[in-house]
């Protein structure tokens, strides 16, 4: 009892100390964002402490905390919601009940969570997918791919590819009355990385080229080569997502070895033979001037890490490092970036590169946005920002899918 009270007291103190973290001036709903930021940082602290005292692993604590918001598959008056499997991988389907006037579009949803956390079951995602299905009269497919570190790279990607290839079969599409020419792949954060990668793989596969009409990437993280882009520096302490949390979690998709995140924090994790890939993530070349601010480009420090992780140079981990030839054939693209987000510049570089090779990109930059906004549309903390981004995205789909 005394121990529990002590823990609770410590949590309150840590929450209160975090809540006074100064926020950027032009953030909307400042108090709510401060509370969310303090919650995220307190969770991170609890997870770190549990790990240090050997009670539970860092990531396992976060997995448990994230699962508090899981929902069951519950149908409503408009949408039938079913949990099932495609190719032995769990999926949640949202099928509109109204009589179809014609074949329906489909949206394939890949959730975020740094490859380690999350599920389509999270209440805010369930709301979003239900809303998408109802507004667009679309079939929505959420994918629960396997998570790291139990299943490292490329498990998550392979699961997404399997589900999508299964869904794209003629008889399956016909079964759900889906129009094969109106399919979009969407993902947020690390789910955006998976969505971007799957889209690249399908477009560069002769038997699937042209099958995806559009991709929608919501504040995605797209590379691990350079962890000191201007946005990584400017927003290293959040709000919500800190550079340390991000690197700690994402590295688990590569290895459980602690050497990698330590080196990545110093930006000294890439091997010598990766030098030729840095031209694809060179913010000095690709970042629009207004985002460069006063940051100075420094050349990468390579070969410091003797342990070698071949995965780090794999474009299936970092979709930003494919060459222009592989970008050229990409479909219509929608990208949301948030200003107050350490992943902002990954997307800004991708947008420049896509536009350079003639891919049609709609870019929505949310000046007052924060990372993960789409996930904060439910109690205890409800951000209008999340709903605003959702509505912009749905409008784009209505016009383009």
Ligand X SMILES: *[C@@H]1O[C@H](CO)[C@@H](O)[C@H](O)[C@H]1NC(C)=O
Q: Which residues bind ligand X (CB under 6 A)?
A: 76-78, 134, 278-279, 282, 284-285, 297, 299, 306, 323, 325-326
Q: Judged by CB, which is closer to ligand X: 175, or 325?
A: 325
d(Cα 153, Cα 155) in Å, to the nearest integer?
Answer: 5
Q: Given 119, 340, 371, 375, which residue is catalytic?
A: 371
Smallest separation, CB 271 to ligand X (Å) = 11
Q: Judged by CB, which is closer to ligand X: 64, or 259?
A: 259
Smallest separation, CB 204 to ligand X (Å) = 8
Residue 76 a catalytic site member: no
Q: Which two tokens stand for residue 211?
A: 């099958």
Q: Given 126, 341, 345, 346, which residue is catalytic?
A: 341
Residue 324 a catalytic site member: no
d(Cα 171, Cα 181) in Å, to the nearest integer?
Answer: 14
Q: Judged by CB, which is closer to ligand X: 11, or 123?
A: 123
Residue 363 a catalytic site member: no
d(Cα 202, Cα 195) in Å, to the nearest integer?
Answer: 11
Q: Given 189, 231, 347, 375, which residue is catalytic?
A: 189
With contact defined as beta carbons under 8 Å apart, do 66 and 103 qualify?
Answer: no
Number of C-beta neighbours around residue 282 at 10 A: 17
The residues facing 336 across adjacent strands are 218, 364
Q: Judged by CB, which is closer to ligand X: 135, or 363?
A: 135
d(Cα 248, Cα 281) in Å, to the nearest integer?
Answer: 21
d(Cα 388, Cα 12) in Å, to the nearest integer?
Answer: 32
Length of the chain: 401
Smallest separation, CB 318 to ligand X (Å) = 13
d(Cα 42, Cα 150) in Å, to the nearest integer?
Answer: 25
d(Cα 23, Cα 36) in Å, to the nearest integer?
Answer: 12
Q: Judged by CB, which is closer to ligand X: 30, or 326?
A: 326
Smallest separation, CB 284 to ligand X (Å) = 4
Smallest separation, CB 276 to ligand X (Å) = 9
Place of tokens 């994402």: 250
What is the 8-class DSSP label of residue 278? G
Smallest separation, CB 199 to ligand X (Å) = 16
What is the 8-class DSSP label of residue 292? H
- 92 φ, ψ to 5°? -115, 125
Q: Judged by CB, which is closer to ligand X: 151, or 278?
A: 278
Which residues are known to be catalytic?
Answer: 189, 341, 371
């Amino acid at each position: 009892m005394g121990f529990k009270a002590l823990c609770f007291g410590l949590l309150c103190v840590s929450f209160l100390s975090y809540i006074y973290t100064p926020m950027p001036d032009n953030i909307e709903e400042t108090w709510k964002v401060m509370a969310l930021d303090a919650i995220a940082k307190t969770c991170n602290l609890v997870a770190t402490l549990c790990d240090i005292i050997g009670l539970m692993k860092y990531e396992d604590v976060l997995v448990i905390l994230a699962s508090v918001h899981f929902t069951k598959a519950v149908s409503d008056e408009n949408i039938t919601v079913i949990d099932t499997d495609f190719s032995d991988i769990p999926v949640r389907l949202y099928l509109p009940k109204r009589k179809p006037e014609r074949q329906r579009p489909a949206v394939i949803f890949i959730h975020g969570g740094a490859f380690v956390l999350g599920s389509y079951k999270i209440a805010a995602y369930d709301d979003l997918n239900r809303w998408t299905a109802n507004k667009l009269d679309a079939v929505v497919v959420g994918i629960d791919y396997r998570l790291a570190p139990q299943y490292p790279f490329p498990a998550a990607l392979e699961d997404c590819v399997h589900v999508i290839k299964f869904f794209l079969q003629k008889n399956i599409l016909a079964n759900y009355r889906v129009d094969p020419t109106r399919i979009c792949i969407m993902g947020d954060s690390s789910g955006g990385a998976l969505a971007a990668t799957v889209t690249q793989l399908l477009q560069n596969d002769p038997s699937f080229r042209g099958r995806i009409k559009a991709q929608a990437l919501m504040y995605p993280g797209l590379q691990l080569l350079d962890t000191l882009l201007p946005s990584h520096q400017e927003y290293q302490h959040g709000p919500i997502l800190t550079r340390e949390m991000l690197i700690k979690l994402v590295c688990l998709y590569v290895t459980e070895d602690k050497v990698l995140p330590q080196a990545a924090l110093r930006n000294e994790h890439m091997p010598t033979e990766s030098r030729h890939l840095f031209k694809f993530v060179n913010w000095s070349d690709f970042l629009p001037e207004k985002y460069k601010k006063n940051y100075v480009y420094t050349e990468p420090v390579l070969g410091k890490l003797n342990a070698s992780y071949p995965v780090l140079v794999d474009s299936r981990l970092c979709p930003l490092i494919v060459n222009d030839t592989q970008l050229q054939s990409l479909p219509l693209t929608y990208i949301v970036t948030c200003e107050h987000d350490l992943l902002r510049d990954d997307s800004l570089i991708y947008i420049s590169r896509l536009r350079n090779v003639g891919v049609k990109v709609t870019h929505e930059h949310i000046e007052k946005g924060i990372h993960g906004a789409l996930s904060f549309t439910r109690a205890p903390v409800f951000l209008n920002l999340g709903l605003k981004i959702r509505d912009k995205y749905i409008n784009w789909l209505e016009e383009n899918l």
